[in-house]
Amino acid sequence: MKYIIAKSLDGALAALQDTGTGRARVVAGATDLFLQEQPDRLIDISRLPELQEVTLEKGLLRVGAAVTHNAASASGLIWEKAAALAEASTLLGSPQIRNIGTLGGNVANAAPAADAAVALAALGAEAVLFDSPGRFYVKPFAGLYAGYNCSRVDSCREILAWFLIRPAGPGQGSAFLRFTARGALSLPLANAAARVTLEKGRLKEVSLVVAPAGPAPSRLKKTEALLLGSNLSGKTWSMAEESASAEVAVRGSALRCSVEYRRRLIGILAGRVLSLAAQRAQRNR
């Protein structure tokens, strides 16, 4: 197998297009990829400076796909403008994994409950992609999943470059929570992320995403709608818990937990994560 460390985005795209020497695939931290079938050529995009940037420009937070979880967790800008993402990156995996695993890899790997992906989904992120002929597209987050562990991002042809996020302004806040069977090195039994906008002490906008519930991070639209206009009381969060629990479609497994427990857990996390996001929104004047 050939391992190519890309020096530029154009170089990486060219290397992907050059199929003469066998199948190629994009790699970043390889924390997911090393467990899977290896292609003939790997194009490492993890050192491209433009893919490691975190910037705020033209009212949008732009986060590079090659930003590692540790980098995201250490970014003051991400904490301020998209706390849910920083939180997910802080809790994911273990120190070693966070050191090399990237946001782009987390999303493109398309695991149903990938932590950073759940946060990005709740934040309403959009993905900027380049394909090998060099064209670029902007896709909504929901359009990135094709099925269980199957991404619409074709990593043999496309490079996920950035995530575009609407930054938290006054009265806005986000949060992420996960529940695991062990303190570290444990995929979540359930996770949840929320983003809210407040107006006069009431919920004006709500985005609530939970997982694992289906192949992609799952937006609970009924619960979101139900909560609009509610105040920030314990009653609201109980209502959120109940509604989320009822709305979500989950699976159980002997290895992780039963359907009933996951349903309860997702409800509890939904209530808690909304309350946390609202607290942040209140503080964000």
Ligand X SMILES: Cc1cc2nc3c(=O)[nH]c(=O)nc-3n(C[C@H](O)[C@H](O)[C@H](O)COP(=O)(O)OP(=O)(O)OC[C@H]3O[C@@H](n4cnc5c(N)ncnc54)[C@H](O)[C@@H]3O)c2cc1C
Query: Least CB distance from residue 150 to ligand X, whole Å?
Result: 10
Judged by beta carbon distances under 5 to 8 A according to partner kind, the member of other proteins, ligand X, none in contact with residue 109 is: ligand X
Query: Least CB distance from residue 251 to ligand X, whole Å?
Result: 18
Q: Copy the structure tokens of residue 116.
A: 């950073």
Q: Of 27, 61, 190, 269, which lies in the binding site for ligand X, with binding defined by CB under 6 A?
A: 27
Per-residue DSSP letters for 129-159? EEETTS-EEEEEGGGGEEETTEESS-TTTEE
What is the pattern of x (binds other proteins, CB under 8 A) and - over residues 14-53?
A: ----------------------------------------
Q: Which residue has the tokens 């806040």?
A: 173
Residue 185 within binding range of ligand X, rule CB under 6 A: yes
What is the pattern of x (binds ligand X, CB under 6 A) and - over residues 36-55?
A: ---------x----------
The partner residues of 162 in beta bridges, in order of sequence, read 64, 128
SS3 250: coil
What is the pattern of x (binds other proteins, CB under 8 A) and - over residues 202-241?
A: ----------------------------------------
Q: Of 16, 61, 71, 108, which lies in the binding site for ligand X, with binding defined by CB under 6 A?
A: 108
Q: Report the distance separating Cα 147 and Cα 63, nearest Å.
A: 25
Q: Which of residues 25 and 263 has its CB atom nearest to other proteins in the complex?
A: 263
Near other proteins in 83-122, by CB under 8 A: 94
Give the Å distances, CA to CA, from 192 to 41, 78, 164, 213.
36, 18, 20, 11
Interface stretch with other proteins, choices 39-47, 100-108, 145-153, 176-184 (CB under 8 A) = 176-184
Measured distance between the N- and C-terminal CA atoms of the chain, rounded to whole angstroms: 53
Q: Which of residues 185 and 246 has its CB atom nearest to other proteins in the complex?
A: 185
Neighbouring CB atoms inside 10 A of 230's CB total 18
Find how far residue 109's CA is from the centre of its chain: 11
